[in-house]
C-alpha cells in the first residue's frame, strides 16, 4: 500500500473512529423530533395511554364521521391531483412546444414557483375576494348575466370550492414537476417523426409510455400535497369541513374531545395514507430512473 | 407532434385568467375602502404594531429554521457523501420522511409526547423551532445533495487535505463556499414556507404572520385582502431569489399548506 502515507489516508485513520460524530446532531434531532413523536402516535393509537394494547381506537376509525373524513380528504386530494395533473400538463405542454414567445417559459416557471408556495391563509382570502358570496367574480357575473352562483348550488366553502382553491397551488406544482419530463419528449418527437410515425402512433407508442412514470410520480406528489394541507381548508371553511387534518386540529385546540387514543389513531391513519403514497412515489422514481438519463 | 399554436395560446390565456383573477379581485377588494382614502387598508396594516411584530416573529422563525436545518443537514450530508455512502441512504430517508408526516400530525405528535413534563423540551419555543427544523429538512437536503454532487466536493476535499488544511478550514473555505447556491436555493424556499406557516404556530400559540393574517381576516376583511397581497409579494421575493441563485434546479414537495 503505497498511498498509506498520503495526508488523506493518515487523516482517515486518525478520524476514522470519530466518523459518527458528524451524524450525531442529524440523527439525534430526527429521532427526537420526528421518529419518536411518530412512534408515540402509533403507540398511543394502540394503547390510548393505558398499559394494554388494544385495536379499539383504530377500529373506531370506521365510525361514519371518521370514515367520511377520510373519504372526503382522499376524494379532495384525488380530485385536485387529477384536475391539476390535467391542467398542469396542458399548460406546460403549451408553453414548451406551442410556438409561444420564448419569454413565456421562464415567466411560467417563476410564477409556478411562487403560486405553488402561495397557500394557506392568504390564498383563502384571495379566493374569498374572488368567488366568495360578495367576491368580485361572483358579483360581476351576476351584474353581467343575472346568474348568481350561490343561488345555483355553488359555494366556495364546501368540497368543490375548496378543490377550486387548492388548484391554485396544485396546478403550478404540476407544471414544475412535469416540465422536465416534457422537455425530454422533444427529442423523441423528432425521432418518431423522422421514422414516419403518425400522430396517433407517436402518442400511444412513444409519448405516453415515456410520460407514464413521471406522470404517476407527479400525481402522487400532488395527492400528498393536498392530503396534508390544513391552513387553506381551515381558513376557507372556518374548520367546518370534515377533513382529517381539520379533525386533528379540533382535537388539539380542544374544540372536540376524542379519547386520546382516537386522536392518535386519526393521525396514524394520515401517516399510513401518506406512507402508501410516498412509497408508491419512490417506486415510480426508481422505475423512472432509467428514462431520466 | 406539437400542440397547435392557437390552442396553446388558449390554454395559456385561460390559465393566466385563473391565476391572475384572484389577485385582481384581492387588489380590488383591498382598495374598496368606501369613504376612506384609497390605500387605507394598506396604511392601517403597515401602521399596526401586530403586523410588524408577527412579521418579525415569522422572520425569526424562518431564519432559525434555516439555521437549524443547515447545521443538521450539511455535516451529515457532506460526511455521508464523502465517507459513508451507506449512511447516505439513511440520511436521505430521514430527510424526506417529513413529507410523510404532515405538519398538523407532527405538531400533534410532538405536543402529545413532550407537551408537559419534559423540562426544556416542553417549551413551546423549543417545540416550534424543532418542528420548523423538521419541515425544512426535505428542501434543504435535496438542495444540498444536488450541490454536493454538482461540484465534486470529494476531489476538492482530497486536494485540501493533501495541502494540509484542517477540517474547520475545509468546512468554512471549501464546503460552504461551494455549496453557497445550493444553500441559498433551499433556504429561500424554506423562507417562503415558514413565513406563511399556520398549522404549527397556531397550535403552539405563537402569533406568527400566518396567525396574524387569520385573526385579521376574522375582523377586518379589507385589511386581510391587503395582507394577502403583501404575503404574495413576500413569497414572490423569496421564490424569485431562489430562482435567481438556483437556475433550473427546482426543489418541490408538500410543505406547510
Q: Distance between CA A262 and CA A44 in Å, rounded?
A: 8
Residues A50 and A66 in one domain: no
Query: Nine-digit cell at B19?
Result: 391565476
Phi, psi of A48 (to 5 degrees): 65, 25
Distance CA B25, CA B20 (A): 9
Residue A117 within any structural domain of the chain: yes
Contacts 24+ apart (CB under 8 A), A8-12: A8/B158, A8/B161, A8/B162, A11/B161, A12/B83
Quote the minimal CA–CA distance from A184 to chain B in Å. 13
Which domains does chain B carry? 21-245 (1.10.3720.10)
pLDDT, tens digit (0-9, with 9 covering 90-100), for A123-153: 999 999 999 999 999 999 999 999 999 998 8
Q: Are residues A44 and A74 in the same domain?
A: no
User: Is residue A293 domain-resident?
Assistant: no
pLDDT (tens digit per residue) in A187-246: 788 888 888 888 888 888 888 888 888 899 899 999 999 999 999 999 999 888 999 999
Q: What is the pLDDT along chain B (257 residues), one digit of tens a residue?
A: 567 788 888 999 999 999 999 999 999 999 987 778 888 889 989 998 899 999 999 999 999 999 999 999 999 999 888 888 888 889 999 998 998 999 999 999 999 999 888 888 999 999 999 999 999 999 999 899 888 888 888 889 999 999 998 888 888 888 888 898 889 989 998 999 999 999 999 999 999 999 999 999 998 889 999 999 999 999 999 888 887 776 644 444 444 34
Kindly report the backbone phi and psi dihedral angles of residue B16, in degrees, each rounded to the nearest multiple of 5, phi listed first: -60, -40
A46 and A151 assigned to the same domain: no
Best of A9, A118, A171, A177 to disrupt the B interface by mutation (most B CBs within 10 Å)?
A118
What residue numbers bound the domain in which A227 lies? 62-288
Q: How far is CA B36 from CA A112, B31, B33, B213, in A?
A: 35, 10, 5, 22
State the pLDDT at residue B2. Answer: 67
**pLDDT at residue A288 tops 70:** no
Mutation pick from B109, B164, B187, B209 vs chain A, by most beta carbons of A within 10 Å, is: B109
Q: What is the CATH number of the domain that holds A203?
A: 1.10.3720.10
Is residue A274 domain-resident?
Answer: yes
Same domain (yes/no): A80, A222: yes
Contacts of B72 in chain A (CB under 8 A): 25-26, 29-30
The predicted structure's pLDDT at residue A31: 96
Mean pLDDT for chain A? 87
User: Do residues A257 and A129 share a domain?
Assistant: yes
On chain A, the residues whose CB falls within 8 A of the CB of B252 are 116, 173, 176-177, 221
Q: What is the ipTM of this complex?
A: 0.88
Say whether both A115 and A186 belong to one domain.
Answer: yes
Is there a single domain that holds both residue A8 and residue A105?
Answer: no
Both A48 and A70 in one domain: the answer is no
Domain boundary residue, one of A54, A70, A86: A54
Nearest CA in chain A to B88: A23
* A166 and A257 both lie in a single domain: yes
How many domains does one find in chain A?
2
Whether residues A165 and A116 fall in one domain: yes
Let me know whether A103 and A138 are in one domain: yes
pLDDT confidence band for A289 (50 / 70 / 90): low
> Quick one: pLDDT at residue A103?
85
Amino acid at each position: 500500500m503505497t498511498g498509506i502515507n498520503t495526508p488523506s489516508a493518515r487523516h482517515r485513520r486518525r478520524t476514522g473512529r470519530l466518523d459518527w460524530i458528524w451524524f450525531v446532531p442529524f440523527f439525534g434531532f430526527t429521532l427526537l423530533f420526528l421518529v419518536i413523536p411518530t412512534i408515540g402516535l402509533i403507540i398511543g393509537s394502540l394503547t390510548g395511554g393505558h398499559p394494554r394494547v388494544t385495536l379499539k381506537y383504530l377500529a373506531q376509525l370506521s365510525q361514519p364521521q371518521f370514515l367520511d373524513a377520510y373519504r372526503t380528504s382522499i376524494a379532495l386530494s384525488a380530485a385536485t391531483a387529477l384536475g391539476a395533473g390535467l391542467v398542469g400538463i396542458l399548460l406546460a405542454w403549451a408553453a414548451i412546444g406551442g410556438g409561444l414567445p420564448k419569454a413565456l417559459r421562464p415567466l411560467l416557471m417563476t410564477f409556478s414557483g411562487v403560486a405553488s408556495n402561495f397557500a394557506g391563509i392568504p390564498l383563502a382570502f384571495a379566493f374569498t375576494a374572488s368567488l366568495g358570496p360578495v367576491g368580485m367574480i361572483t358579483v360581476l357575473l351576476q351584474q353581467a348575466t343575472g346568474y348568481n352562483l350561490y343561488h345555483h348550488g355553488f359555494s366556495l366553502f364546501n368540497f368543490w370550492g375548496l378543490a377550486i382553491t387548492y388548484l391554485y397551488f396544485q396546478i403550478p406544482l404540476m407544471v414544475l414537476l412535469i416540465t422536465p419530463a416534457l422537455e425530454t419528449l422533444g427529442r423523441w418527437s423528432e425521432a418518431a417523426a423522422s421514422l414516419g410515425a403518425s400522430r396517433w402512433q407517436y402518442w400511444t407508442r412513444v409519448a405516453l409510455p415515456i410520460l407514464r412514470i413521471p406522470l404517476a410520480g407527479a400525481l402522487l406528489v400532488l395527492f400528498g400535497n393536498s392530503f396534508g394541507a390544513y391552513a387553506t381548508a381551515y381558513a376557507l371553511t372556518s374548520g367546518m369541513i370534515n377533513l382529517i387534518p381539520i379533525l386533528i386540529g379540533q382535537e388539539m385546540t380542544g374544540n372536540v374531545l376524542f379519547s386520546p387514543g382516537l386522536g392518535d389513531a386519526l393521525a396514524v391513519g394520515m401517516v399510513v395514507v401518506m406512507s402508501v403514497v410516498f412509497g408508491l412515489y419512490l417506486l415510480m422514481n426508481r422505475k423512472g430512473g432509467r428514462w431520466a438519463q | 407532434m406539437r400542440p397547435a399554436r392557437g390552442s396553446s395560446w388558449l390554454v395559456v390565456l385561460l390559465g393566466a385568467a385563473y391565476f391572475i383573477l384572484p389577485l385582481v379581485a384581492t387588489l380590488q377588494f383591498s382598495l374598496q375602502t368606501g369613504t376612506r382614502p384609497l390605500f387605507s387598508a394598506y396604511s392601517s396594516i403597515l401602521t399596526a404594531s401586530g403586523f410588524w411584530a408577527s412579521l418579525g416573529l415569522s422572520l425569526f422563525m424562518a431564519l432559525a429554521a434555516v439555521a437549524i436545518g443547515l447545521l443538521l443537514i450539511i455535516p451529515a450530508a457532506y460526511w455521508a457523501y464523502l465517507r459513508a455512502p451507506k449512511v447516505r441512504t439513511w440520511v436521505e430517508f430521514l430527510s424526506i420522511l417529513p413529507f410523510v408526516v404532515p405538519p398538523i400530525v407532527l405538531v400533534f405528535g410532538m405536543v402529545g409526547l413532550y407537551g408537559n413534563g419534559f423540562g426544556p423540551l416542553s417549551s413551546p419555543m423549543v417545540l416550534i423551532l424543532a418542528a420548523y427544523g423538521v419541515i425544512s429538512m426535505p428542501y434543504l437536503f435535496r438542495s444540498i445533495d444536488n450541490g454536493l454532487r454538482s461540484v465534486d466536493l470529494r476531489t476538492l476535499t482530497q486536494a485540501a487535505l493533501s495541502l494540509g488544511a484542517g477540517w474547520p478550514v475545509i468546512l468554512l473555505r471549501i464546503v460552504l463556499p461551494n455549496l453557497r447556491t445550493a444553500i441559498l436555493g433551499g433556504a429561500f424556499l424554506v423562507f417562503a414556507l415558514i413565513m406563511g406557516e399556520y398549522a404549527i404556530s397556531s397550535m403552539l400559540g405563537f402569533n406568527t404572520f400566518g396567525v396574524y393574517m387569520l385573526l385579521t381576516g376574522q375582523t377586518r376583511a379589507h385589511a386581510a385582502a391587503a395582507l394577502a397581497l403583501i404575503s404574495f409579494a413576500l413569497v414572490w421575493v423569496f421564490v424569485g431569489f431562489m430562482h435567481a441563485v438556483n437556475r433550473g434546479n427546482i426543489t418541490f414537495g408538500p410543505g406547510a399548506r
